[in-house]
Amino acid sequence: MDTVLLIIMIVAVVVVLFIAMLFIFMIYGIARNDRHGGFYYDREYVENSDWLPKECFESIIKGATWIRDAEAEDIYITSFDGLKLHARLICPSNPIGSIVMCHGYRSSGYNDFSSYAEFVYNKGYRLLMIDQRATQKSEGKYIGMGVLERYDCAKWAELVAERFPGEPIFLQGVSMGASTVLMATGLDLPKEVRGVLADSGFTSPREIFGCVLKANFHLPKEPIMTFVCLLIKAFAKYDCNYSAEDALKDNKLPVLFVHGEADDFVPHYMSEKNIAAAKNCYTKFVSVPGAAHAQSYLIQTERCQKEVTEFLEAFKDVEVS
């Protein structure tokens, strides 16, 4: 009897520890955390980083400082689930269109678009630089890994279309922001939306969480991810299995994909999988050798700028039915 009781107690402790580990991983993964690491306009922060290429420090700081200092209008909307969401609208003198810019996981527009924003602004595009839910000035308890943010992205696009009717809109995202705009293609978007630019996007929350679990914690994906996804469904109210691939299957909007071949956070193959799913639309893949996560525009600036310019020019006047 004592042996049976001991076994029961050991099993109970293991179960409790396993459940605790699942909650910790969920909180680590998606719970709001306002202790942001830093912004790229902070020289000390950039120079102390170990993930940014040193040869690009000056351009990174310059770009982020430009975003910070640009004259901007603060705009707010209410999400489908009642959250107050924030964005900054930066307008050039003679705008020809708008770009809805979605930053990545636990990041900001200051960081993710530091190598990109001023360039497209000078092409005549308004920049709607949003704060994703549960980040910066936007409300929210949980990060939606693109699954929830896709609805926010669509609503921001609707706002832009209402304010500037008839003018072209492009959706641009980096990392989780790329997955956001790709997933948004599965929704009814305004006719003014002409195309999508996706840099370093993942396929689904489940797949990217599994990669992080294996790479950072050296733990098997299963059965852990099955239980984590159940917790996320219960607490954050979204399905970790929904993917950019699901959305892209019926998408007709043209998509420019960009991904660094040395990306060890969101694997390069995830863009390949997303492209394979996008069989009913124009796609182009800018694959950048030697570029780490979300650093393609830094490593091959001229090439990426050329590809972006050609993409915007090719599709800004093409309405997708």
Residue-level pLDDT at 221: 86
CA atoms of 212 and 130, how far apart (whole Å): 26
pTM of the predicted structure, to 2 decimals? 0.94
Distance of CA 62 to the CA centre of its chain: 22
Closest CA to 185 of 159, 154, 224: 154
pLDDT score of 37 more than 70: no
Give residue 219's pLDDT.
81
CATH architecture of 53-204+242-315: 3-Layer(aba) Sandwich (3.40)
Residues 6+ positions from 173 with CB-CB distance below 8 Å: 101, 102, 103, 104, 153, 179, 180, 181, 182, 196, 197, 198, 199, 201
When pLDDT is cut at 50, 70 and 90, the band that residue 23 belongs to is confident
**For range 124-135, the mean pLDDT:** 97
Of the ranges 15-24, 158-167, 231-240, 262-271, which one carries the lowest mean pLDDT score? 15-24
Q: What is the CB neighbour count within 10 angstroms for residue 158? A: 17
State the pLDDT confidence band at 69, using cuts at 50, 70 and 90. very high
Closest CA to 119 of 285, 313, 301, 263: 301
Q: Kindly state the tokens that stand for 114.
A: 């530091």
The pLDDT of residue 220 = 85
| Per-residue pLDDT at 218 | 83
For residue 6, is pLDDT > 80? no
| Per-domain boundaries in the chain | 53-204+242-315
